[in-house]
Amino acid sequence: MAETRHDDICGMDAVTMAAEIRARRLSPVEVTEAVLERMDRLEPTLHAYCTPTPELARSTAARIESAIARGEDVGPLAGVPVAVKDLICTAGIRTVSGSKAYEDFVPDEDDVVVERVRAAGAVVMGKTNVPEFGYSGVGHNPVFPATRNPWNTDLTSGGSSAGSGAAVAAGMAPLALGSDGGGSVRIPSSFCGLYGLKASMGRVPLYPGTKDERYPGVSSWESLEHIGPMTRTVADSALLMSVIAGPDPRDRFSLPAGDVDWSSCTEGGIAGLRVAYSADWGYAAVDPRVRAVVGEAVRVFEEQLGCTVEPVDPGWPQPYEAFWAIVANESDLTGLRAMAERVGAENMTPHVVEFIQTSWTAEQFTDALMVRKAVQNAMWRLMQDHDLLVTPTLAVPPFEVGIQGPTTIDGREVEPFEWLHFTYPLNFTGQPAASVPAGWTDDGLPVGMQIIGRHLDDATVLRASAAFEAAAPWAHRWPALVTSAAMGSSAGSGR
């Protein structure tokens, strides 16, 4: 009976869990023990958590439970487990960033978002696995075992928020913090059947990640990077955003608060909205399975949600090379090269070594900025006539662990990272973009659909996401790994 109770707890969404804890119908200590038991069962297979923190979690849960018993005010996440990506600094908790250079690094300060979730009463269960410095869309690195996808453990969970995606998909935390410099919240959300939100640039402040010159591998991608929620439901992401959003003087990009009511932004329909749909940006190779699943999901906007849908081609130049030039321009190449010499290139991820040893010219950097401006200008012109833009999140379903990406998509030879064509342009523009589960392939692999809003219109993205979720729900579906080990076969039935 205790095991069944624990499995029920692990299957709860965060909104329900938080309400049950505040009403004293659910114990923070019991919640923490349930998640730790799930981790004991599944972590030897999934490797979602690179640095679990069970004793910290237990002590935090006990403190919150005592506070509730005394009738004290507690935060909106009181007692709710959260997983934290290992690129996000955590005071007193090892933050490795997937690199031997930081294998023993323990920050002396929290990232802003960690300060905020801790202040809100969340229980940090540990740090989740990433590729080295986040320079990849998958989940293997030189330090820890590769993270695996709960839907098929031969496959990657995506990245760079690899462990965060696997943890939430397997019920080893209802909330996870990811970061997204080119898609790294949306990628694992797509591959793991989750909801992942990259809010508008500046909604969620970043510090010290991307900002602190003391950390060459972590301090990079400043104009591209976002931190965002990864959850099983849209409402859970809105709840987490209500805690982590808002200005902070340590981040010069942070936006004023007040124009988004995170508590109600998921409410209401979207009838009458004008939705643009691009199946391939006009240049991307896309797996036919993805085209089919997302194409069917897009019909929901017109047939069930009352929107008008128009196929579009944004018409910007293919920005793949420009993206990597901007990453290089915002990376501490001098520090990274010194680090590689100190650690030994043989102890680093090969493509990371190749990247940091590449010679770049000023013209490459300025050309990349011109491409970024062209993407931005094409985008705002497109969005003048549309309320939302919808695309596949990724060009492919999940692929095998150990590679950076497929080299052939739909019969076309591609570079190993070209399956990411749909995500990184939104890091150029800073627009809000979410990945929602669009459906599953015939062999049971999740496929994500990206919902993009106008500049700063996060509220419409969340409202549209919630409307789609209500019309085509997904949160009842669990990977067979979870249902067979923990939750019973009925919970895994398809929609």
Q: Which residues are catalytic?
A: 85, 160, 184
3-state secondary structure of 147: coil
Spatial CB neighbours of 200, under 8 Å, sequence gap ≥ 6:
255, 430, 431, 432, 455, 456, 457, 458
3-state secondary structure of 286: coil
Q: What is the DSSP letter of 145?
A: P
Task: Say how far apart CA 387 and CA 460 lie, in whole Å.
Answer: 8
Tokens of 354: 């190749």
∠ at Cα 48 (47, 51), nearest 5°? Answer: 90
Task: Say how far apart CA 196 and CA 55 lie, in whole Å.
Answer: 28
C-beta separation of 462 from 223 below 8 A:
no
Q: What is the DSSP letter of 446?
A: E
Burial class of residue 73, CB neighbours in 10 A (0-12, 13-18, 19+):
exposed
Tokens of 40: 């004991």
HSE value, Cβ hemisphere, 13 Å, CA-based, for 36: 17
Q: Which amino acid is at 316?
A: W
Whether residue 208 has a cis bond before it, omega within 30° of 0: yes
The position carrying tokens 């019969």 is 411
Bridge partners of 126? 52, 83
